[in-house]
Structure 1
Amino acid sequence: MAGTIQVIGVGNEGRESLTPRALAIVQQAEVLVGGQRLLDFFPEVQAERIRIGAKVDEVLASLAARLGEKLIVVLATGDPNFFGITRALLRHVPRESVEILPNLSALQWAFAKAREPWDDAAFLSVHGRTMERLPELVMGKAKVCLFTDEANSPAAIAQTLLRAGLDGYRAIVCEDLGGPRERITETTLGALAGMDVHPLNTLILLATGEVPAAELAWAPGLPEEVFDQRKPKVGLITKREIRVLSLARLAIRSDSVIWDIGAGSGSVSIEAAKLASRGRVFAVEKNAEDVEIIRGNVARFRVPHVDVVHTKAPDGLEALPDPDAVFVGGSGGAMREILEIAATRLRPPGRIVVNAITLDNLHEAVTAMRDLGLAHEAILVSIARSKPLLSMMSFEALNPVYVVTAWHETSPSEPTRPA
């Protein structure tokens, strides 16, 4: 046993929650590790005590260096394998050097108190994490259990969901389970948004009616009319056929960071976000009216990982993370400056795609790309759409668009041209 780290799950009732075997291991510990609350459950254990605080990995690395010297026991809340310490511990200690004795988890206690089955629930944790994409993760789920922290409290969670329009849930808050301040509260998200809750809590959300679909039906190339656009000057939008081709040229991955410069109505940003489901999209737009239109479209198409940036590029680009893909739909007269920054910041094997309507813009873009040492190619896209002509069908041409793709040259063993 001295050659392993013993991980003991501790329930809400402290030492009384342990099996005889688990309690015997704790009492034999030579090094006892855990949060202060868990350590306090075992005042009689004569062992070196190490408190786990904010620097979890630092503590676990020090334990790994002492492996085999003494019997190390790590105390964990409930089930260490469920949003618990096991994952972090395995970053430092070989799997075969870890023994785990789990206990009842907080979620099991919470659902028992709520008198709700939990085999059909979704489990999310915002403990030590951002809530930026929480609405997206909750959406479409009828039953959700959330693990919180002091910053991402039940009240903060309720506020985040209400801002996203997800008000169709009732909440069950389970506080200090097994402790002196145990309380089970069933309430609305509106009421929860103003509640003070014990820091030890588990939150359950139950849909009150029909659960909205997690994803709106989508295929690349949404019609222009499904997006809000500036009126009466409709048309500040990349046409669907050009949009599909441009997105293909950008070679977006699921985790890509994308800049959409001159975002207009946000159509490219929104479809890029659908492709980069785990990435981020920055819709950069100078016009205040269009900025509000983009925000409305982002909310309607449920792509919270699109950040709308109200600025005239290249201003503001320095604050954005390095991109994997850059789309320039409008340059506002600053094509060269934008491309210089994009080329410098682009992460390999990223792409820059420019849409140009005029020969002047095409010349400016290609000249800048040559000067920057970027490999590039341009295609001229002419699209005609059918329209009725009496009882027959005719075609109406759209304005031709130059689609210019640029990339950094790669090594001979890698592909050098867009797919």
Structure 2
Amino acid sequence: MSQTLAVVGIGMEGRESLTRRALAIVLKAEVLAGGARLLDLFPEVQAERVRIGSHVDEVVGSLASRLGEKRIVMLATGDPNFYGITRVLLRHVPRESLTIVPNVSAMQWAFAKVAEPWEDATFLSVHGRSMERLPELVRGRPKLCLFTDETNSPSAVARALLEAHIDGYRAILCEDLGGPAERITRTTLAALVELKADPVNTLILLAIQDAPEVGATWAPGLPEEAFDHRTPHAGLITKREIRVLSLAALKLTPRSIVWDIGAGSGAVAIEAAKIARDGRVFAVEKNAEDVAIIRGNVTRFKVGNVHILHAKAPAGLETLPDPDAIFIGGSSGAMRAILVEASRRLRPGGRIVVNAITMETLHEAVSVFRDLQFDHEAILVNVARSKPLQGKLSFEALNPVYIVTAWRAGDRELLTHLQN
């Protein structure tokens, strides 16, 4: 008896969408699982029928325990690997025990119906998920396609975007594709707010040419004036030149988990969040006034993936997920304790970057990294900015800053191997 579980995708045209191979797999099933609508497509199949409803994990776990007893076939809509059942299956069934026969996904159908190429589209799902970060994920993307649900409906999506001052998109709402109530509506976000969509829908967003939120670009090194922060004499903000070099040293990826310890105004956290747009950034700050400033800056720059922790590190760090990158802009005298905890939690291949203004802080950081047997390097950055002086060009020096970068011994060789 087969030791595999077969998953067959059903397209919008029902059983007519199946290839000969896919249909043969379904007809030979001894256990046929799927939603009621899909099961009804094969009344002639003499198999035990397992209806998959709301308790998906429970049903899949039960089916997985029966591998090898009978030929088990699961019916799915479209492509099971695209926001489909495969993720749940992999929690219960080894990859080598899965046979997946995909079909055309709802996303592909939608783009086909409106004759729009989709290789350059961004695909998102708000089906059963929070929409908190939706504006951030949409902003700047020229073409998107979204799965929605009855709560996070196309109307709710449009409302969330407009509330975030994002209105530079045309909407194409595709409802009940392949069904009796098929309808395609081309509209604006403002009009979409008023529409009640069929629960079975796909939403396409196309950027309006020259819309400011779509064409806007960002590069690391925003001027200090872009952020709210305490005055230079009372508080601190990482200067843009130092910020750029520190961010480069962190080697962030779009999915990085970042700690910004001693976050101050949140400038580093916010720019890190722009790079790690699909990751998360945790700004840790002990001063209540600065925490309020960070919140204001996060709102201003609309970076929903920045989370603020009001604590004096290393307190509170145990509540955060393990990081890929750690920036330390201030330690409040707890440098050793912070670095020990950071080194313990840092993921493989991760980086720690310390900004030090004094020789004492530099020495302490380097000393701890040596004790921890971390590889490290330090650079001294002297920056002078031009300023007008009686019609002539003059320069004003900023305070020199030491940037210390550390990584676990052997990680550089690991990264080199992975890159090759």
TM-score, normalised via structure 1 length: 0.74
CA distance in 2, matches of 1:257, 1:322: 7
CA distance in 1, matches of 2:342, 2:86: 41
CA distance in 2, matches of 1:353, 1:93: 39
Structure 2 counterparts to residues 32-51 of structure 1, below 5 A: 32-51=32-51
**Aligned-partner SS, 1:385:** strand
Shift of 1:393: 3.8
**Aligned-partner SS, 1:264:** coil
Distance 1:8 1:365, change over 3 A: closer
Distance 1:4 1:373, change over 3 A: closer
**Aligned-partner SS, 1:119:** coil
CA distance in 1, matches of 2:411, 2:177: 59
**Superimposed CA distance per residue, residues 195-221 of structure 1 (whole angstroms, 9 cap, x where no aligned partner):** 876543333445567444557434443
CA distance in 2, matches of 1:6, 1:364: 59
CA distance in 1, matches of 2:323, 2:111: 43
1:77 — aligned with what? Answer: 77
CA distance in 1, matches of 2:30, 2:358: 76
**Superimposed CA distance per residue, residues 333-382 of structure 1 (whole angstroms, 9 cap, x where no aligned partner):** 44344333223322334333222223454455456556656555544433
CA distance in 2, matches of 1:141, 1:405: 33
Shift of 1:307: 2.4
Shift of 1:237: 1.4
1:357 — aligned with what? Answer: 357
CA distance in 1, matches of 2:100, 2:373: 56
Structure 2 counterparts to residues 7-86 of structure 1, below 5 A: 8-11=8-11, 26-52=26-52, 53-55=55-57, 58=61, 61=64, 65-66=67-68, 72-80=72-80, 82-85=82-85
CA distance in 1, matches of 2:412, 2:267: 36
TM-score, normalised via structure 2 length: 0.74
Shift of 1:165: 3.0
**Are 1:142 and 1:211, in contact at CA under 8 Å, matched by a contact in 2?**
no
**Aligned-partner SS, 2:56:** coil
5+ residue gaps, structure 2, are 416-420
CA distance in 2, matches of 1:158, 1:379: 48
Structure 2 counterparts to residues 24-173 of structure 1, below 5 A: 26-52=26-52, 53-55=55-57, 58=61, 61=64, 65-66=67-68, 72-80=72-80, 82-85=82-85, 92=94, 98=99, 100=101, 102=103, 105-107=105-107, 116-119=114-117, 122=121, 124-126=123-125, 127=127, 131=131, 133-141=133-141, 143-149=143-149, 152-154=152-154, 156-158=156-158, 160-169=160-169, 171=171, 173=173
**Aligned-partner SS, 2:123:** strand
Distance 1:12 1:367, change over 3 A: closer
**Are 2:107 and 2:145, in contact at CA under 8 Å, matched by a contact in 1?**
yes
**Aligned-partner SS, 1:146:** strand
Distance 1:353 1:160, change over 3 A: same
Distance 1:99 1:334, change over 3 A: closer
How big is the alpha-carbon RMSD for the aligned residues of Structure 1 and Structure 2?
Answer: 4.5
CA distance in 2, matches of 1:391, 1:352: 43
Shift of 1:277: 4.3
Shift of 1:81: 6.0
Distance 1:88 1:169, change over 3 A: same
Shift of 1:125: 3.8
1:340 — aligned with what? Answer: 340
**Superimposed CA distance per residue, residues 263-286 of structure 1 (whole angstroms, 9 cap, x where no aligned partner):** 222222233334434432212233
**Aligned-partner SS, 1:268:** helix
Aligned residues: 408
Structure 2 counterparts to residues 10-409 of structure 1, below 5 A: 10-11=10-11, 26-52=26-52, 53-55=55-57, 58=61, 61=64, 65-66=67-68, 72-80=72-80, 82-85=82-85, 92=94, 98=99, 100=101, 102=103, 105-107=105-107, 116-119=114-117, 122=121, 124-126=123-125, 127=127, 131=131, 133-141=133-141, 143-149=143-149, 152-154=152-154, 156-158=156-158, 160-169=160-169, 171=171, 173-174=173-174, 176=176, 189=189, 199-207=199-207, 210-214=210-214, 216-230=216-230, 236-299=236-299, 301=301, 303-362=303-362, 364-366=364-366, 369=369, 376=376, 378-390=378-390, 392-409=392-409
5+ residue gaps, structure 1, are none
* Aligned-pair identity (%): 64
Distance 1:156 1:312, change over 3 A: farther
Shift of 1:34: 1.4
Shift of 1:173: 4.8
CA distance in 1, matches of 2:404, 2:50: 59
**Aligned-partner SS, 2:33:** strand
